[in-house]
Structure 1
Amino acid sequence: MSDADAGTYVEAGEFRRDTNYITTRITADGRDGYPVEPGRYRLVAARACPWANRTLIVRRLLGLEPVLSLGLCGPTHDKLSWTFDLDPGEVDPVLGIHRLRDAYLARFPDYPRGITVPAVVDIPTGQVVTNDYAQITLDFSTEWTAYHRPGAPQLYPEPLRDHIDEINAEVFREVNNGVYRCGFAGAQDAYDAAYTRLFAALDRLTERLSTQRYLVGDTITEADVRLFTTLARFDPVYHGHFKTNRSKLSEMPVLWAYARDLFQTPGFGDTIDFGQIKEHYYVVHRDINPTGIIPAGPDLSNWLTPHHREELGGRPFGDGTPPPPPLPAEQVPAIP
Structure 2
Amino acid sequence: MTANGPLALAPAMSDALARWLEVEAGTRDRSPHTIKAYRDDLLAFLGFLGGYHGCPALPGTLAELKQSDMRAFAAAERARDLSPRSLARRQSAVRSFLRWMADREGFDASLALSTRSPKYQRSLPRPLAPDQARQMLDMAGDGHDTPWIAARDLAVLTLLYGCGLRISEALGLDGRAWPFREALTVRGKGGRERQVPVLPVTHQAVAEYLRLAPYPLTPDQPLFRGARGGRLSPGIVATTMRQARQALGLPPTATPHALRHSFATHLLSAGGDLRTIQELLGHASLSTTQVYTGVDDAHLLSVYRAAHPRG
Q: Scaled by the length of structure 2, what TM-score is found?
A: 0.25
Q: Which has the higher contact order (CA 8 A, sep 6+)?
A: 1
Greater CA radius of gyration, 1 or 2?
2
Higher helix share: 2
